[in-house]
Amino acid sequence: MTEKPRAADPGASGPAPGGSAPADDGPRVVIRDDHQLGRTEDPPAAADAGADVPAEGLVEEAEVVVDEIEAEATTLDDPAPTGPPVVDAPAQPVDGSATGSPLGAELEAVRGELDERTRDLQRVSAEYANYRKRVDRDRGVVQEQATGSVLAALLPILDDLDRAREHGDLVGPFGTVAEQLTTALGKFGLTPFGEQGDPFDPTRHEAVAHQTSPDVEEPTCVQVMRRGYLLGERLLRPAMVAVADPE
């Protein structure tokens, strides 16, 4: 690094370069480079040390002024908050329903498609529920018809058991088997009806004989030739009876 020109030594004698004597203009200020302060050099002459003192003072004052300016600039650029901290308001959702907005048109299209798919799903769910109900109902009807067909084939056997019971032949082990058979068929919903003295019901009784009697106040079954049977609520076979009408 190039050194700054130093002040001429006042005690030096001899003509200045060029043959002319230097003019005495007073003390000269020498500004030294701070980077050279740490370098090891030969100790300056006493006259040079005396001349550098005012320059070093100016440098220190200049550094203090620069530090103050930088501190003030920093304070102006980043002022300390004097009030409560400012919290940014949450971002407001974008309103896509604005008229003429591409986002609003797309949102409306998506909503319309969603409504259409929802209606389709509801319609399919209702159709499936109706299908399940119809299948369950048909399955029940088919099962009842199959059971009815089997029980109807066994009714003549039950008629023979009734006639044997009337004649007193249904005793001993044979009677026990007959009771077990009647109980087992009852578990399938087979219910017998038709007893002497029941009111005549044309929907359930089949009248094969008519007579009048002063002992009845309404058409009454006075004799049962064959009992009827119900399968649940359905009439499997009507009862064959003789009816007495009031006189």
pLDDT (tens, 9 = 90+) of the chain, 247 residues, equals: 444 444 444 444 444 444 444 444 444 544 444 444 444 444 444 444 444 444 555 556 666 655 666 666 555 455 555 555 554 545 454 454 444 578 888 898 899 999 999 999 999 999 999 999 999 999 988 988 899 999 999 999 999 998 998 888 888 888 899 999 999 999 999 999 999 999 999 999 999 998 998 888 899 999 999 999 999 888 999 999 999 998 8
26 CB-near residues (< 8 Å, 6+ apart): none
Phi, psi for residue 88 in degrees, rounded to 5: -65, 135
31 CB-near residues (< 8 Å, 6+ apart): 4, 55, 58, 59
* Alpha carbon of residue 28 to chain centroid: 89
Is 199 within 8 Å of 216 (Cβ atoms)?
A: no
Q: How far is it, in rounded angstroms, from Cα 243 to Cα 221? A: 5
- Tokens coding 89: 């308001």
| CB half-sphere exposure, 22, CA atoms < 13 A | 15
What sign results for the dihedral spanned by CA atoms 230, 236, 238, 239? negative
Domains and CATH numbers, the chain: 190-247 (2.30.22.10)
| CB half-sphere exposure, 90, CA atoms < 13 A | 3
Q: Does residue 188 sit in helix, strand or coil?
A: coil
- Tokens coding 117: 């798919």
Q: Are strands 205-213 and 239-246 parallel, antiparallel or unpaired?
A: parallel
| pLDDT attached to residue 104 | 83
**From the CB of residue 12, how many other CB atoms can be counted at a distance below 10 Å?**
9
| pLDDT attached to residue 9 | 45
* Alpha carbon of residue 40 to chain centroid: 80
Indicate the residue type of 144: E
- Tokens coding 159: 């008629």
| pLDDT attached to residue 120 | 93
Phi, psi for residue 34 in degrees, rounded to 5: -65, -30
- Tokens coding 135: 């299948």
Q: How far is it, in rounded angstroms, from Cα 44 to Cα 41? A: 8
**Class of residue 228 by CB neighbours under 10 A (exposed 0-12, middle 13-18, buried 19+):** buried
What sign results for the dihedral spanned by CA atoms 168, 172, 176, 178? negative
Q: Does residue 124 sit in helix, strand or coil?
A: helix
